[in-house]
Amino acid sequence: MRVNDAVIGILLLAFAIVTFAYARTLPAIPGQEYGAAVFPMLIAVGLGGCGVLLVASGLRHWQGAVVWSDWARTHHSWTKLAVVVGLVMTYILTASTIGFVPVSILVLLIFLMMMRVRWWIAAAAAIATTMLIQQTFGGLLRVPLPLGLLGP
């Protein structure tokens, strides 16, 4: 299944407009020339530009809003898609209780094994990716990731 770029571009452009409008409501930071709205507004402008480019590209190569590919005709592909959605839902529902690190490792390991990666490479990649995300978001950016069972 392939969704035409124009359709995705319209959705991206709509999202950019909503994001930009909401970012304008964020409060200014006292004593700063720029406030909390600057970064979301820059991202919204970038997304809007990408949306416009996608719409232009999609209209040039229009073959219909959706074109069904060969992969969409097999049940294996739909099963993999259902597993990915299930893994995302599992993370959403269990990360706050169990914690980011164990849930992330488990979700990534299951996903990589489903994609037929050797188990030892999948395990190493899941652990390394989780540690990289934990250090980047938890350490550098100070984003509080759920500790769950690992917390105090």
pLDDT per residue over 26-75, tens digit each?
A: 888 787 777 788 899 999 999 999 999 999 999 998 888 777 777 777 88
How far is it, in rounded angstroms, from Cα 56 to Cα 105?
40
Contact 8, 54 (CB under 8 A): yes
Residue closest to 21 by CA, chosen among 32, 13, 11: 13
Q: Give the global pTM.
A: 0.62
pLDDT of residue 63: 83
Does 89 score more than 80 pLDDT?
yes
Q: C-alpha angle with apex 140: 137 to 146, nearest 5 degrees?
A: 35
Contact 104, 125 (CB under 8 A): no
Does 1 score more than 70 pLDDT?
no
Does 85 score more than 70 pLDDT?
yes
How far is it, in rounded angstroms, from Cα 26 to Cα 105?
35
Three-state DSSP class for residue 144: coil
Domain ranges for the chain: 2-67, 74-150
Q: pLDDT: is 120 or 78 the higher one?
A: 120
CA atoms within 13 A on the CB side of 85: 6
Share of residues in the chain with pLDDT > 70 (%): 99
